[in-house]
């Protein structure tokens, strides 16, 4: 049985791994989750011994809330701000090779999300060092406790991060988060499970054990408050919408997803999320699609034969953006209103990125599927507007029409077409390969 292209079945379990490029640490913590729970205070030192004792006590409390057993003693270490900054840089280099960082920069440049001189490594370090407040490291099996955080904030930091320690002892977080190759969307969905679970547990602990499953959805309120609080962070405030949405999604939408699961059962029933995790961020945005066992048909995007023999053109990367990716892209390049309408109509996608010799010139090939012909037309028009913004010199070929756009820009030929509920396109195509690429896209 299918619904909007989705098939009723049990969720499939994935294997193999891909690291999440935008969240190099498990430990980004929303230190100001809600005004009724916490007021941000000036930095002040707390006794290291008190911090270590507090961690042991909260570890026990989080085990009681979640039902996750303590299988090993907690390793913990008090750490200074300079040490955390050093750790962030070290962890990024452990998580991503220079080639992987370059590929991610290229993807964002190819989609028009960042400028040509954007430096991903510097951005990530700046973005997270201003917010770091302590973290659990699943590789070192250690809770790192910041020595400058006020005592009232430490409770929230520890309750969130020590839930990660419990998750790690039951499901091996490092393997869980690196378990899907070539699908950023599936990895982002897993990240939302991990962070949403820890955020929900944190809120229940700070609220004195109140059962989140018995409360109305608090995700909308939490999102509003978090956006207000993060305005105090310059790097976050200046970041493109794409980054801000991707950074907050695991916590806000992830917590809403976990609360939906708690409303259907209890903490003990959430183990299914780690044993059969969601496959797509659409399931996080729409929890019932996961809990009612809906899955989404994927789209294939083979490498175009027309590009394989082009001199100086090198294949760089491929992946899936997912609903989160296209929601973020439309929110940045069109509007947040359009992200909430067309962006939520995503069903499937795949993209390929090629790089020209010398760098900073790319060929992007993408295929997307939407919930209906109407929503694919809406995206077609949106992406046409994005192309016009990305390439101010873009000219229109006379073959363009209602469902097809052909144009030329400085980096080559651009092809955009709509077929039923799908939109397909290629940017930066060498003119000599344009006709072959158009025929290939039409045949998909």
Per-residue confidence (pLDDT) for residue 95, from 0 to 100: 83
Whether the pLDDT of residue 33 is over 80: the answer is: no
Please indicate, yes or no, if residue 3 is contained in any of the structural domains. Answer: no
Whether the pLDDT of residue 35 is over 50: the answer is: no
CA 14, CA 394: separation in Å to the nearest integer? 42
Please indicate, yes or no, if residue 136 is contained in any of the structural domains. Answer: yes
Least confident of 112-121, 269-278, 345-354: 112-121
**Average of pLDDT values for 376-403?**
97
Same domain, residue pair 309 and 420:
yes
Least confident of 100-104, 216-220, 343-347, 376-380: 216-220
Render pLDDT for 252-261 as a digit per residue (tens, 0 to 9): 999 999 999 9
Using pLDDT thresholds of 50, 70 and 90, give the confidence band for residue 191.
very high
Percent of the chain with pLDDT over 70: 88
Same domain, residue pair 38 and 57:
yes
Whether the pLDDT of residue 21 is over 60: the answer is: no
Q: Look at the chain and report how many structural domains it folds into.
A: 2
Please indicate, yes or no, if residue 350 is contained in any of the structural domains. Answer: yes
Same domain, residue pair 310 and 285:
no
Please indicate, yes or no, if residue 5 is contained in any of the structural domains. Answer: no
Render pLDDT for 118-138 as a digit per residue (tens, 0 to 9): 988 888 878 777 767 788 999
Same domain, residue pair 120 and 266:
yes
Whether the pLDDT of residue 5 is over 70: the answer is: no
Whether the pLDDT of residue 32 is over 80: the answer is: no
Whether residue 287 contacts residue 261, with contact meaning beta carbons closer than 8 Å, is answered with: yes
Of 248, 277, 295, the position where a domain reaches its end is: 295
Please indicate, yes or no, if residue 1 is contained in any of the structural domains. Answer: no
Question: Which residues are 429's β-sheet partners?
Answer: 413
Whether the pLDDT of residue 40 is over 90: the answer is: no
Percent of the chain with pLDDT over 90: 64
Whether the pLDDT of residue 16 is over 70: the answer is: no
Render pLDDT for 218-229 as a digit per residue (tens, 0 to 9): 888 877 777 776
Render pLDDT for 301-323 as a digit per residue (tens, 0 to 9): 999 999 998 999 999 999 999 99
Q: What backbone phi and psi angles, to 5 degrees, belong to 395? A: -105, 155
Residues 6+ apart with CB under 8 A from 24: 88, 91, 92, 95, 96, 124, 128
138-143 long-range contacts, Cβ below 8 Å, gap at least 24?
Answer: 138/26, 138/164, 138/168, 138/172, 138/173, 138/174, 139/94, 139/174, 140/75, 141/72, 141/75, 141/165, 141/168, 142/75, 142/76, 142/77, 143/55, 143/74, 143/75, 143/76, 143/77
Whether the pLDDT of residue 12 is over 80: the answer is: no
Of 247, 273, 295, the position where a domain reaches its end is: 295
Of 238, 261, 295, the position where a domain reaches its end is: 295
Question: Which range marks the domain in which residue 407 is found?
Answer: 305-443
SS3 assignment, position 354: strand
Please indicate, yes or no, if residue 2 is contained in any of the structural domains. Answer: no
Same domain, residue pair 207 and 339:
no
Same domain, residue pair 256 and 317:
no
Nearest to 274 by CA among 149, 384, 169, 386: 169
Does residue 263 or residue 1 have the better pLDDT? 263
Nearest to 277 by CA among 28, 10, 67, 23: 10
Same domain, residue pair 316 and 270:
no
């Amino acid at each position: 049985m299918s619904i909007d292209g989705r098939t009723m079945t049990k969720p499939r379990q994935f294997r193999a791994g891909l690291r999440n490029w935008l969240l190099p640490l498990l430990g980004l913590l929303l230190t100001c989750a809600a005004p009724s729970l916490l007021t941000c205070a000036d930095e002040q030192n707390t006794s290291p011994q008190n911090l270590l004792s507090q961690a042991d006590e909260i570890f026990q409390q989080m085990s009681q809330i979640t039902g996750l057993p303590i299988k090993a003693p907690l390793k913990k270490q008090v750490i200074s701000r300079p040490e955390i900054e050093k750790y962030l840089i070290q962890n990024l280099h452990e998580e991503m090779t220079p080639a992987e960082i370059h590929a991610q920069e290229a993807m964002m440049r190819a989609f028009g999300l960042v400028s040509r001189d954007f430096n991903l490594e510097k951005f990530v370090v700046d973005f997270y060092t201003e917010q770091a407040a302590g973290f659990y490291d699943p590789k070192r099996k250690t809770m790192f406790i910041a020595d400058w955080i006020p005592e009232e904030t430490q409770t929230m930091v520890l309750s969130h991060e020590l839930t990660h320690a419990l998750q790690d002892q039951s499901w091996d977080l490092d393997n869980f988060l690196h378990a899907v190759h070539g699908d950023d969307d599936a990895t982002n969905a897993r990240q939302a499970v991990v962070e949403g679970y820890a955020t929900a547990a944190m809120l229940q602990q700070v609220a004195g054990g109140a059962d989140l499953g018995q409360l109305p959805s608090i995700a909308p309120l939490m999102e509003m408050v978090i956006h207000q609080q993060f305005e105090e962070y310059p790097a976050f405030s200046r970041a493109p919408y794409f980054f801000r949405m991707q950074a907050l999604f695991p916590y806000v939408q992830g917590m809403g997803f976990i609360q939906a699961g708690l409303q259907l059962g209890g903490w003990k029933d959430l183990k299914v999320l780690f044993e059969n995790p969601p496959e797509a961020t659409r399931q996080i945005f729409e929890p019932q699609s996961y809990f009612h066992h809906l899955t989404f048909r994927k789209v294939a995007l083979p490498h175009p034969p027309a590009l394989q023999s082009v001199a100086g053109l090198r294949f760089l990367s491929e992946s899936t953006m997912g609903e989160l990716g296209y929601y973020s892209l439309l929110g940045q390049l069109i509007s947040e209103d359009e992200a909430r309408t067309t962006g939520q109509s995503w069903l499937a996608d795949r993209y390929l990125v090629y790089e020209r010799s010398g760098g900073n010139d790319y060929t992007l090939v993408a295929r997307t599927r939407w919930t209906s012909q109407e929503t694919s037309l809406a995206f077609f028009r949106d992406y046409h507007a994005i192309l016009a913004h990305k390439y101010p010199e873009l000219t229109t070929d006379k073959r363009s029409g209602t469902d097809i756009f052909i144009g030329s820009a400085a980096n080559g030929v651009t092809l955009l077409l709509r077929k039923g509920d799908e939109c397909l396109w290629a940017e930066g195509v060498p003119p000599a390969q344009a006709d072959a690429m158009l025929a290939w896209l039409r045949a998909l």
